[in-house]
Amino acid sequence: MPVSIVAALQIGSLPGGKDETLAQILAYEEQIQRSGAQLVVMPEALLGGYPKGERFGTQLGYRLPEGREAFARYFANAIDVPGAETDALAGLSARTGASLVLGVIERSGSTLYCTVLYFEPAQGLVAKHRKLMPTGTERLIWGTGDGSTLPVIDAAVGRIGAAVCWENMMPLLRTAMYAKGVQVWCAPTVDEREMWQVSMRHVAHEGRCFVVSACQVQASPQALGLAIDNWPAERPLIAGGSVIIGPMGDVLAGPLVGEAGLLTAQIDTDDLVRARYDYDVVGHYARPDVFELRVDERRKPGVEFIKD
Which residues are marked as active site?
A: 44, 131, 165
> What is the rounded distance in angstroms from the CA atom of residue 229 to the CA atom of residue 34?
42
Beta pairing, strands 210-215 & 238-245: antiparallel
Q: Closest by alpha carbon to 246, among 194, 205, 192, 195?
A: 205
Q: What is the dihedral of CA 24, 29, 34, 36, to 10 degrees?
A: 110
Whether the CB-CB separation of 114 and 140 falls below 8 Å is answered with: no
- The residue type of 43 is P
Whether the CB-CB separation of 192 and 199 falls below 8 Å is answered with: no
> E strand or H helix at 65, and its extent?
helix 65-77
Burial class (CB in 10 A: 0-12, 13-18, 19+), 8: buried
